[in-house]
Structure 1
């Protein structure tokens, strides 16, 4: 398996951290923008896209702040994806910080995918 590269992205977003957290941490919230459908049983989340499904394990979460998943097929690796809500202390501007891993040849494609998904999230929130 090819080594994966860690990358981070920041997306300014106009929404309260507590509302955002519902969209990044619950199956119903995630299915509004991240996947076509999301189910969870305990700490295992099943993400469904156009008939294909992938399972991820909830690694850690902190209310109104962040959530971290690891794909089941990468369970024996240090790869993960994390969605973090960042609030600027002074301006109170809210951003979503995404940390993910991709093979070198797929980093640009992965970034575009995140940009599309976060744009969907902004539309759901009416924060375009």
Structure 2
């Protein structure tokens, strides 16, 4: 069993779920904001940052709703997930990110996600 804990981040934005889903689920879309280079083959994505490559497989996906990845080097019960929700009150699209981190690293990991999501928002014109 992993010592890491799951945490959830939510980011409201102005964007249709289908456009957002393309940025979360395709190599071209993820390369726009998530990693320097992204390749996909047989449901395994290779993400490269500064010459270092990490691989993640797609565990589950539902068009315009969510995609769940598993880093190949991590325990099988850990994943990171992008979920697209709609606010009942404001009708705004909400990007929900679920990830795992050591208890003392949740804040740093959350800040890293915030930095990356800021780049995504820029690409989406938010």
Deviation per CA, 1:23-58: give whole Å up to 9, x if none: 000000000000001000011100000100000010
Count of equivalent residues:
126
Instruction: Give the C-alpha shift of residue 2 in structure 1.
Output: 6.3
Find the counterpart in structure 2 of residue 84 from structure 1: 83
Find the counterpart in structure 2 of residue 16 from structure 1: 16
Give, in whole Å, the separation in 1 of the partners of 2:107 and 2:19: 29
Cα RMSD between the aligned structures? 1.3
Find the counterpart in structure 2 of residue 103 from structure 1: 102
TM-score where L is the length of structure 2: 0.96
Q: Counterpart of 1:82 in 2: which secondary structure?
A: strand
CA contact (8 A) 1:39 1:46 kept: yes
Give, in whole Å, the separation in 1 of the partners of 2:2 and 2:106: 13
Gaps of 5+ in 2: none
Which structure 1 residue ranges, 4+ long, deviate > 3 Å from structure 2?
Answer: none
Give, in whole Å, the separation in 2 of the partners of 1:2 and 1:17: 32
Instruction: Give the C-alpha shift of residue 88 in structure 1.
Output: 1.7
